[in-house]
Amino acid sequence: MSAAASNSLVENLNLGSGELRLVVKDSIDIAGCITGMGSAITAGASPAKESAEIISNILANNAKIIGKAKMHELAYGVTGINTLAGTPVNPKYPNLIPGGSSSGSATAVAEGVADIGIGTDTGGSIRMPAACCGLVGLKPTFGRVSRVGVHPAQSSLDCVGTITKTVALAEQAMALIDPSFKIQPDLAEFNVGVVKGAWRSDVATAMDAALSNVSQSMQSIELPGLMRAHEAGLIIIAAENWSAFHDIVDAPNLGDDIHKRLLLAQEITAQQVDDALKIQAEFRAEVDAVLASGIDVLILPALPLPAPTLAEAKDAAAIVAHTQLLRPFNISGHPAITLPLENDAGQPFGLQLVGGMMQDEKLCMIARQIERLIESKDYEEKLK
């Protein structure tokens, strides 16, 4: 499919050169383009005068930006449904949500328009659409990739990352946006910590089956603070989004779902934020301690149950629960990557791997090996 025929983009571009085609989430500044944030409120806004630092890195490294991608309005939602700017279709699972907020960055890759989708992840906004669309989604360590020229400008959780079809492409994409990233060769042995949890039985069964072909050392791990970290993440993102967008809360052309979320965010107290920050520090230490005990990578589902349908997405409260395994690692700041995975019914939920702080290269290297082993198992089963 050509970029012109795609419904994933808000603007077609032809910047840079090279074989790798990228689309960029419309919350990232590109000089001469309006940074639309998926919102009607930005109509008529002045184009960005300068490009974000990551755009300069991309264009300096033999890659081509072909468009700006659709997104959940103001990056404040996980469904990708946008009644004002348009909802991109999930190419592989058209009855399911595309996932948000980096929806168009995922669907453009899934439909073959782009090799790499650049998105942002504050509470799962790269890993959620990757899981929903059957793709690889990488959220780097917090602070690893520059956010200069990324909106909202102030965030203590947000990370710029990538959506691709393979881990190898994710590594190439990371090297584009972070010049310090160096791809590592395979490691013969590594230790896996499989996180215990009460996810749905079909998800647990599919994950166990996928990992049965991984011969490396595995042990069960508990993360008692996981759900509290999810709740803390909701409080922090709400408080920060109220700070960023309170002046437009009553705008007549603001999406209804965003209006409601901002009104709820207004009610967050300073005490709630302080408590959430304490939970953040505790959970970060909890994850650090597990990874320091000889575990190289943690594994758990990306979503605790399969991706929801477009109809199910009307229940906003239920949809937030889909991020309860993603959001904690925005709170902790650790790098996390999702690999495509389905249950026996062919419903996607994704497999999530979490690595040590600033060990993004090691995480990707292990994910690349696990991806290969899972694909090998799938291939063997298809031959039976």
What CA–CA distance (Å, rounded) separates 179 from 145?
9
What does the pLDDT average to over 63-71?
98
Q: For 108-162, how does the pLDDT look when each residue is reduced to its tens digit (9 = 90+)?
A: 999 999 999 999 999 999 999 999 999 999 999 999 999 999 999 999 999 999 9
Q: How confident is the model at residue 383 (pLDDT cuts 50, 70, 90)?
A: very low
**Does 321 have pLDDT greater than 50?**
yes
What does the pLDDT average to over 53-67?
95
Position 214 scores a pLDDT of 87
CA atoms within 13 A on the CB side of 202: 14
Position 377 scores a pLDDT of 61
**Does 380 have pLDDT greater than 70?**
no
**Does 168 have pLDDT greater than 90?**
yes
Position 384 scores a pLDDT of 42
Q: For 238-252, how does the pLDDT look when each residue is reduced to its tens digit (9 = 90+)?
A: 999 999 999 999 999
What does the pLDDT average to over 214-221?
90
What does the pLDDT average to over 334-347?
98
Q: For 11-56, how does the pLDDT look when each residue is reduced to its tens digit (9 = 90+)?
A: 999 999 999 999 999 999 999 999 999 999 998 899 999 999 999 9
Q: For 86-110, how does the pLDDT look when each residue is reduced to its tens digit (9 = 90+)?
A: 999 999 999 999 999 999 999 999 9
**Does 379 have pLDDT greater than 60?**
no
pTM of the model as a whole: 0.96
